[in-house]
Amino acid sequence: MEETKPLRVGMVGYAFMGATHSQAWRTAPRFFDLPLSPRLAAVAGRDPGRVAAAAAKLGWESTETDWRRLIERDDIDLIDICTPGNTHAEIAIAALEAGKHVLCEKPLANSVAEAERMTAAADSAAARGVYSMCGFSYRRTPALSLAKRLVDEGALGQLRHVRAQYLQDWLSDEDAPLTWRLDRTKSGSGSLGDIGAHVIDAAQWITGQDIAGVSALLETFVKQRPVGGDLVGLGGHGSGGERGEVTVDDAAIFSARFDGGSGTAGAIGVFEATRFALGRKNAMRLELNGSKASLAFDFEDMNSLWFYDAADEPNAGFRKIQVTEPEHPYTGHWWPVGHGLGYEHAFTHQVVDLVEAIAAGKQPTPSFADALQVQRVLDAVETSAADESRWTKVEGA
Amino acid sequence: MEETKPLRVGMVGYAFMGATHSQAWRTAPRFFDLPLSPRLAAVAGRDPGRVAAAAAKLGWESTETDWRRLIERDDIDLIDICTPGNTHAEIAIAALEAGKHVLCEKPLANSVAEAERMTAAADSAAARGVYSMCGFSYRRTPALSLAKRLVDEGALGQLRHVRAQYLQDWLSDEDAPLTWRLDRTKSGSGSLGDIGAHVIDAAQWITGQDIAGVSALLETFVKQRPVGGDLVGLGGHGSGGERGEVTVDDAAIFSARFDGGSGTAGAIGVFEATRFALGRKNAMRLELNGSKASLAFDFEDMNSLWFYDAADEPNAGFRKIQVTEPEHPYTGHWWPVGHGLGYEHAFTHQVVDLVEAIAAGKQPTPSFADALQVQRVLDAVETSAADESRWTKVEGA
Amino acid sequence: MEETKPLRVGMVGYAFMGATHSQAWRTAPRFFDLPLSPRLAAVAGRDPGRVAAAAAKLGWESTETDWRRLIERDDIDLIDICTPGNTHAEIAIAALEAGKHVLCEKPLANSVAEAERMTAAADSAAARGVYSMCGFSYRRTPALSLAKRLVDEGALGQLRHVRAQYLQDWLSDEDAPLTWRLDRTKSGSGSLGDIGAHVIDAAQWITGQDIAGVSALLETFVKQRPVGGDLVGLGGHGSGGERGEVTVDDAAIFSARFDGGSGTAGAIGVFEATRFALGRKNAMRLELNGSKASLAFDFEDMNSLWFYDAADEPNAGFRKIQVTEPEHPYTGHWWPVGHGLGYEHAFTHQVVDLVEAIAAGKQPTPSFADALQVQRVLDAVETSAADESRWTKVEGA
Amino acid sequence: MEETKPLRVGMVGYAFMGATHSQAWRTAPRFFDLPLSPRLAAVAGRDPGRVAAAAAKLGWESTETDWRRLIERDDIDLIDICTPGNTHAEIAIAALEAGKHVLCEKPLANSVAEAERMTAAADSAAARGVYSMCGFSYRRTPALSLAKRLVDEGALGQLRHVRAQYLQDWLSDEDAPLTWRLDRTKSGSGSLGDIGAHVIDAAQWITGQDIAGVSALLETFVKQRPVGGDLVGLGGHGSGGERGEVTVDDAAIFSARFDGGSGTAGAIGVFEATRFALGRKNAMRLELNGSKASLAFDFEDMNSLWFYDAADEPNAGFRKIQVTEPEHPYTGHWWPVGHGLGYEHAFTHQVVDLVEAIAAGKQPTPSFADALQVQRVLDAVETSAADESRWTKVEGA
C-alpha cells in the first residue's frame, strides 16, 4: 500500500457533511484496496480558529481560510465541497478549471441555471481527464445498490409504480430555530431539495428512467421561527425572542410520470418529502412495483431490502433480505453476515467508487449531468406548485 | 332476547358483499346485545336458481327475483343493497320512499348527481324516522375506530399530514379477466371508487376534516383484457381469446388539502389507490402526523394501531397497540386480548351500530350525506386528472 | 343443503370456549359445503337460569342442567365438551360409550391416567364408527396448516431446531383474581397445560416428530391471589380482601429432544409458556430451522407465515407469506386475498374437518391418542421440574 | 488535541477482531473527546509477511512477530488481545505483570481456572493503576446501553423473565470447513462460548443479576467437517476431501435462575445459542419482562429498542424506540436522529470508555471478574449438559 500514488484531498466546509466525508476518506483504504491513496491534505473554512479545531478533530493535515487558496495549491488533487448549495457552483467550476477533481455535495446547485453551468464545466473537464461526482450518497447504501442490480437484471419486469417518501420530523416543534436550511438564499429550497432530491435521484437511478413530468404541492406549516437558539441535531429548540421568516417549503408532494427508458411505457410515481412526519426520523423509503416483482426499502432499517417475486406464488411474500452477504454490493469488504452497517458507510463506498473511477480515467456516477436532471425535476416541482399543481414537463426530458 | 322486536332484512345481491353482510346479520346478535333482532328474511337476485342456492347457503328465509318485490313486501323493514354501484340510486330511493331503512354498499353511487338525489331521499326519509347508512365498513375496524377516538380526544394536536394508500395487486396479471369492476358503466370508476373511496372516507372521518381540493393523476396500465375466463378471488386468469376494453382507472394518485374543520389550518394529504402493487394484497393504509402525535395503520395487520406520542420523547417510538383490549372499540364483545379479529368483523360492527341507531331513532353514520362528500372528492379527482392535474376544488366543500 | 343429514350437537359448558364453539358450528356450513348439517341442538350447564340465557345468546335450541341427560338423549349425535379439564374424562368416556361422537377441548385430561382411559374408550368407539377429536384448534389456523404442508413436502430438509413459545401477560398484575385456571384440581396445571399444551401439540404435529425427552423448570411468581374480584378477559383485578393459594405454575420452560420420525436424527427444541410476559398478549410462536429452509409463526400476526428458503440465497430472506391465497389451506372459502381471518376461524375449520371425517367414517385428527402424547409430555415436564430438571424420558415414546 | 497524552496500543492478532479493533482505535478520537490519544503503535503476529501486510492495511505503525516482544517494549501502554481464547491467559497475565493495560477479547479464557488466574492478575494490577477490560462489545450497542439505563432506573419493576437468544446460520451447510472455531483446544467451546457468552454477559449486566444455576443441553449436529476449503465470512464451503472431527457444540440451550440481586426474587431465564438457525444471520436477541415494563432487542435491527410500558395501558404497545437521539447513550456523538450506526460502533464506544477509565484511574467494565462470572456460567452449562441436564449451581454464585 505504501507505494500507491496519493490522492490529496482538500475539503471545503466541516460541519455535518464535513464530518461524514472525513470519516469516509479516512476509512475507505482500510477496508477496500484502492488504486490511489487518499490523504486528508487540507480543509478550508472562513474562521481560522474553528477551521483549525475542525482539522485537528477530523484529522486534516492543514487548513485554509479561503477555498480559493485551496484550489491554488498544487499539492491538492481533489476538492470536496461540503458547503451550503448557494456556494457550490462557484467553487466547483473554479476547481474543475484549475484541474482538480471534484466531489460536490447534493443538491448540485440552487438553480437549474447554476447546475447547467456546472455540468458544462464538468463535461469540459472530463475531456481533460478531470472528473466530478455529485454526492447522492444513498446510492451506495448496499440495499439500494442491490435494488439497482435487481432492476438492471430485469427481475421486476415492466415497472408500473414508484412510491418514494423521505419523512423526517425535526421541524415538528414550532420553536425549532431558523437555520440556514430554512433560508432559501442559502439552501435553495426546503424539504424538496434537502431530502426530496435524494429520493428523486434514487428513483431515477434505480429505475433507469427519468422523470418526464410532475404535478406538485408545496407547503410551509410554520411560517416564522426563532432567529437564535440551541441547535440539537438538525433541529432543536429556539429561544423565545425574535422570529424570522421561513422562506422554504416544509413539505413537498408530487406525482410523476417516468419516461420509460428505452421505448417502454413509463411508470407513475408519487413522492413526498417532509420534516413534519412526527415519529419518522429518517424514513427514506422507496417501493417499486413491476409486473414480475416488487422491491421496498426504508432507511430506518437500512440493512434490509424487501423483495417480492411473483414467481414464488402462491407461497410468495416480501422477503426481508439482510443485505450483508459477501455477494451483495460492498458488504463483503466489511463484517460477517448479519453484522449491519451504518449511515456513514455509504459515504465510504462513494469515496471508493470515486477513487476507482479517477484512477481508471472513467466518469464516476452520479455525474453532474445526473444531478442536473434532479435539479430540473426540483424546478418542475416548484413551477407546478406555483401554478395550481398543473402538469409540468421536466425541462430537457 | 326472545322478546326483542325483529328487524326483518331484505338483501339485494348475494356475491362477495352479500356473503359478508349475511355473516354480519347472523353474527351480530350472538356477541352484542341488540335492541332489535335481525332476521335474514329475504334475498333478491335475478336468476331464480342462483338466488335460491344463495339463500340456502347464506341462510336467508325466502327469495325474490326482483328487488322491487322485496320493497313491496310489508314483512321487510330494511333493504340491504349489495349490488354494483350503477343500481344503488334506484333501489335506495325506492326503498326509502317505501319506508324501508337502507344499508347501501359503497361507493354510494356512480355519480355526484345520483348521490345527491339519494341524499335528498335519505334526508326526507330521516324526517319520517326511516334511516340510511352507507357501508364504509372499514370505519368499524377496531384499530381505525380507536384512531378516530384518539383524534377526537385531541391526542394528535394540530394535524399536518395525511398519508393514505390502498394497495392491491389482483390486476397485476395482464390476463386477469374483464369483470364488472373494470366496466365503467357498472362500477363508475376503477381503483378510485372501489378502494380509493375507502381511504377517502376513512381519512375524512378520522380527521374530522373534509377534503377541500385535489390534484390528481389516473392511469390504466392494461387497456384490454380477456372477456371470459375463470375468476379467482377478485382477479384470476382470463382465457386466451377475445379481449375487451378496460374503461376504468387501474391506479389513482392525488394530493389533497383538508379544510381544517373548525377554523384551524387544514392538513395536506397524499392518496394512492391501485390494484397493481405486486405483493400488496390488501394494504389499506392510513398515517396521520400531528403536532403532538402520529398514528399509522395497515389493514394487512388489521388488529394493530401504531401510535407515536411525542410526550414519550426521548424514549418515544411508534407503539404497536394490539387493539384487542376490553377498553377498545367493539373488542370487549369478542375474545380475550391478543386473539385478533378478521376482515368480516367490521361488517358485524356496522350492523350493530345501524341496529342501535334505528332503534334509538337516530341518524346512523356514515350517512348518505357523508358518502356524497366522498363522491364529490371522487368527482374532483376525475376532473383534475382530465385537466392536466390542475388544482380542483371539491364541489360543495 | 336442505337435504343434507343433520349432525345434532350437544355442548357441555358455555363460557369462553362455548362461545367459540357455538360460532364455529353456526358458521361452518355457511362457508363450506359440509356432508352433514350441524344443528345447535342442546347446551348443558348446571345453573338453569344461566344455561337458558346462554342458549338464547349463543343460539342453542334446548338446554339441559345435567350433562348426563344430554348423553341420554337420542336426538343428539355429538357431544362437544367445553368444560374445565377435570371433567373431561368422565363426560367423554360416557359419551363415547353411549355412541356419541366427541369433540373435547384441550388439554385432553388432567393426568396421563385419565388420558389413557379416554384414549382406550376412543379407540374402542372408533371401531364402532364413533369418532372423537381433541380441540387443539391452532392446527387449523391457516398459516400453521401451511407450515405443516411445507414440512410434509420436505421443504425444510433435515430439521434441527424447534423454538416454541406461548407468551401471554394476563397474570402480570399481582392482584388478578384466583380463577379456576389457577386451581390445580380443576385445570391440572397452569401455563403448562393451558397454553404450553398448544405449542407442544403444534410442534409435534407440524414436525411429524414426537418429543422423546425433556428437561424442565416450572415457576410460580405470585403464590397467593385475591379470592374474589372482577374478571376482565381471562385476568382482571381482584378485590383487596382474602387471598388464596395459586396451585399451578405461572411459567414453564423446557428443552426437548424429538424422536426424528422415521429413522433420521431428531431435532432439539426449546419451549416456554408463561402468562407473565408483559406486553405479549397471545404470542403463540413457533420457529423451525431445517437444513434447507426455516419457518416462523407468531399468532399475534396470525395471517402470516414467515418462510426462509436457502435456495433463494444470496437474495434469500424470510418471506412474509400472507396466508390468504385460494391455494392455501381453508382460505379459499372465505374472502379475497389479504382480507385476513381472526381467532375463531380455526374453530370453524376444526368443525369442518370433524364433520367431514365423521361423514367419511374416518378418524379425525388430532385424535385422543395424539392428545395423550401431549399429556405424556406435560407429565414428563412436571416430573423433570420436580427432580432438579433432570432429563426425563417421555413415557411411551 | 495535539497536547493530549498518547495511549500507545499494541495489538496481538489481526483477523476479524483485529480489523474491528483497529477501526475502533482509529475512529474513537474523531467523534469523542478523549483524555488520552490512542496511537496504533504496533501489531504482533507470527508470520512476518502477513503481519506486515496487516499493519499496512489496518494502519499500524510497526510490527512484531512475537507478542512477548510487544510486552517488552516500553513504548507500548496497552495490549489489545485479539487472538483465539486458548492464548488469552498467558498474554494477558504477562502484559498486566509488565504494567500494560489490557483489552482482551471474549470469552476471557477457555476454562474457569484460567479465568481465575487472569482475574487475580487483573485485581493485583488494578491496585497498581494498571487496568483491564474484557471485550463484551455488545454492551456498548446504544440500544442495549439504553436497556441497561431503563432497568437501572427501575422502569421494569420486578423482573420475571429473561429470554435470550443468539442465532446464526453459518454452519447450516454440512460442508462448511473445519476452522479453529470448531476446535475445542483453541476455542474452548462452540456456539456456547462464541456467541452464547455474549447473551449471558448482556443478560447479567443489564439485569444487574447473576445467573445462580442452570440446566443445559448441548448438541453437535454435524460431527465431521472438511479439513480444508475456502473460508467465506465465518463459514463457507469446504473441499470434498478429508474430514475432521468437530469437537465443540453446534448449539446450546439452557434454562437459568438469576440471583435476584439485592434481596429480591430472581428472574428465570431461557437461553439459546446456535449457528444452525437457517435464515437468522446475527440474531442476538434479549427480552426482559418485568412487573411494570418489558424490553426487547434484536441485533438484526440493532438501532432499535422495543419498550412496553404498562403505564400506557390500555393504549400500550411495544414502542420501537430508534436509539439515535442525542439523549441516548453514545449516539449524540455521531449523526442526526434516524441515521443509524453499524456493528463496529460498539467497539469504538468500548475504546472510548476504556480510555476514559484509564485516564481517570478507575476500573473499566466489564472487568475480568465480570468475565470470570460468565466463564463460570459456561462451565456450569457444560457440567449440566454432561450430567443429564441436572440443575447445576454456578460456582461462586
Indicate if D150 and D253 belong to the same structural domain.
yes
Domain count, chain D: 2
Q: How many CB atoms lie within 10 A of CB B197?
A: 26
Residue A262 has pLDDT above 80, yes or no: no
Residue B2 has pLDDT above 60, yes or no: no
Cβ atoms of A361 and A129 within 8 Å: the answer is: yes
Residue D146: its chain B contacts at CB < 8 A? Answer: 315
pLDDT, tens digit (0-9, with 9 covering 90-100), for A152-190: 999 999 999 999 999 999 999 999 999 988 999 998 899
Cβ–Cβ below 8 Å for A217 and B217: no
Indicate whether B345 belongs to any domain: no
- In this structure, of A193-202, B63-72, B184-193, D369-378, the range with the lowest mean pLDDT score is B184-193
Distance in angstroms (rounded) separating the CA atoms of residues D65 and B204: 73
Asked if B60 is an interface residue toward chain A (Cβ–Cβ < 8 A), one would say: no
pLDDT, tens digit (0-9, with 9 covering 90-100), for C231-274: 666 777 776 779 999 999 999 999 999 998 765 678 999 999 99
Indicate whether A363 belongs to any domain: no
Asked if D293 is an interface residue toward chain B (Cβ–Cβ < 8 A), one would say: no
Report chain C's C-alpha Rg in angstroms.
Answer: 21
Which of C80, C30, C32 lies closest to C60, judged by CA? C80
Give me chain B's average pLDDT, please.
Answer: 95
Residue D171 is part of which domain span? 141-343+373-386
- What is the pLDDT, as a whole number, of residue C265? 76
**Domain final residue, candidates C138, C169, C203:** C138
Residue C293: its chain D contacts at CB < 8 A? Answer: 278-279
The residues pairing with B166 across neighbouring beta strands, listed in sequence order, are B273, B284
Indicate if D149 and D233 belong to the same structural domain.
yes
Size (chain C), residues: 397
- Cis omega (within 30 of 0) for bond into B107: yes
Give residues 63 to 102 of B whose Cβ lies within 8 Å of A. none
Name the closest residue on chain A to residue C337, using Cα atoms: A314
| Phi, psi dihedrals of residue A46, rounded to the nearest 5° | -75, -35
Residue A170: its chain D contacts at CB < 8 A? Answer: 336-337
- What is the pLDDT, as a whole number, of residue D229? 67
Name the closest residue on chain A to residue B288, using Cα atoms: A277
Indicate whether B359 belongs to any domain: no
Indicate whether D114 belongs to any domain: yes
Indicate if D323 and D186 belong to the same structural domain.
yes
Cβ–Cβ below 8 Å for A338 and D234: no
* DSSP 3-state of D360: helix
Mean pLDDT value of segment A315-342: 97
**Domain final residue, candidates B138, B159, B179:** B138
Looking at chain C, the number of H-run helices and the number of E-run strands are 11, 19
- The CATH number given to whatever domain includes residue A328 is 3.30.360.10
pLDDT-based confidence at residue B241 (cuts at 50, 70, 90): confident
Residue D1 has pLDDT above 50, yes or no: no
Which of D88, D373, D72, D328 lies closest to D202, judged by CA? D373
Distance in angstroms (rounded) separating the CA atoms of residues A104 and A92: 7
Query: In this structure, what C-alpha cell is assigned to residue A85?
Result: 448549495
Indicate whether A393 belongs to any domain: no
Asked if C341 is an interface residue toward chain B (Cβ–Cβ < 8 A), one would say: yes
Q: How many CB atoms lie within 10 A of CB A207?
A: 25
pLDDT-based confidence at residue B228 (cuts at 50, 70, 90): confident
Indicate whether C220 belongs to any domain: yes
Asked if A234 is an interface residue toward chain D (Cβ–Cβ < 8 A), one would say: yes
Residue D230 has pLDDT above 70, yes or no: no
Residue C1 has pLDDT above 50, yes or no: no
Indicate if B126 and B16 belong to the same structural domain.
yes
**Domain final residue, candidates A138, A155, A178:** A138
Query: In this structure, what C-alpha cell is assigned to residue A161?
Result: 409504480
Residue C130 has pLDDT above 80, yes or no: yes
Give me chain A's average pLDDT, please.
Answer: 95
What contacts C209, CB < 8 A, 6 or more positions away? C159, C258, C259, C260, C261, C266, C267
Cβ–Cβ below 8 Å for B278 and A290: yes
Indicate if B284 and B170 belong to the same structural domain.
yes
CB-nearest to B255 from A172, A253, A257 is A253
Distance in angstroms (rounded) separating the CA atoms of residues D224 and D247: 9
Residue C97 has pLDDT above 60, yes or no: yes
- The CATH number given to whatever domain includes residue C119 is 3.40.50.720
Q: Per 3-state DSSP, what percentage of chain D is helix, strand, and coil (rounded to 5)?
A: 35, 25, 40
Mean pLDDT value of segment B150-159: 97
Asked if B279 is an interface residue toward chain A (Cβ–Cβ < 8 A), one would say: yes
Chains that touch D (3 or more CB pairs under 8 A): A, B, C
Mean pLDDT value of segment D323-352: 97
Indicate if D68 and D178 belong to the same structural domain.
no
pLDDT, tens digit (0-9, with 9 covering 90-100), for A3-14: 789 999 999 999
- What is the pLDDT, as a whole number, of residue C396? 79
Indicate if A101 and A156 belong to the same structural domain.
no
Cβ atoms of C173 and D282 within 8 Å: the answer is: no
Cβ atoms of C187 and C194 within 8 Å: the answer is: yes
Indicate if A191 and A324 belong to the same structural domain.
yes
Asked if D318 is an interface residue toward chain B (Cβ–Cβ < 8 A), one would say: yes
Asked if C315 is an interface residue toward chain A (Cβ–Cβ < 8 A), one would say: yes
Residue C229 has pLDDT above 80, yes or no: no
Name the closest residue on chain C to residue D214, using Cα atoms: C389
Asked if B163 is an interface residue toward chain A (Cβ–Cβ < 8 A), one would say: yes
Q: How would you classify the pairing of strands C6-12 and C37-44?
A: parallel
| Matching residue, cell 408500473 | A160
Indicate if C103 and C245 belong to the same structural domain.
no
Indicate if D81 and D111 belong to the same structural domain.
yes
- Cis omega (within 30 of 0) for bond into B177: no
- In this structure, of A74-88, A232-246, A327-341, C124-138, the range with the lowest mean pLDDT score is A232-246
Distance in angstroms (rounded) separating the CA atoms of residues B193 and B197: 5
pLDDT-based confidence at residue B55 (cuts at 50, 70, 90): very high
Cβ–Cβ below 8 Å for B336 and C26: no
Mean pLDDT value of segment A378-393: 98
Which of A81, A330, A347 lies closest to D334, judged by CA? A347
Indicate whether D358 belongs to any domain: no
Indicate if D59 and D195 belong to the same structural domain.
no
CB-nearest to A339 from D282, D324, D326 is D282
Size (chain D), residues: 397
Cβ atoms of D88 and D81 within 8 Å: the answer is: yes
- How much of chain C, in percent, has pLDDT values that exceed 90? 91
- How much of chain A, in percent, has pLDDT values that exceed 70? 96
Residue A1 has pLDDT above 50, yes or no: no
Residue B1 has pLDDT above 50, yes or no: no
Mean pLDDT value of segment A25-41: 98
pLDDT-based confidence at residue D396 (cuts at 50, 70, 90): confident
CB-nearest to C307 from A307, A313, A315 is A315
Mean pLDDT value of segment C341-352: 98
Residue C310 has pLDDT above 70, yes or no: yes
Indicate whether C346 belongs to any domain: no
Indicate if D184 and D82 belong to the same structural domain.
no
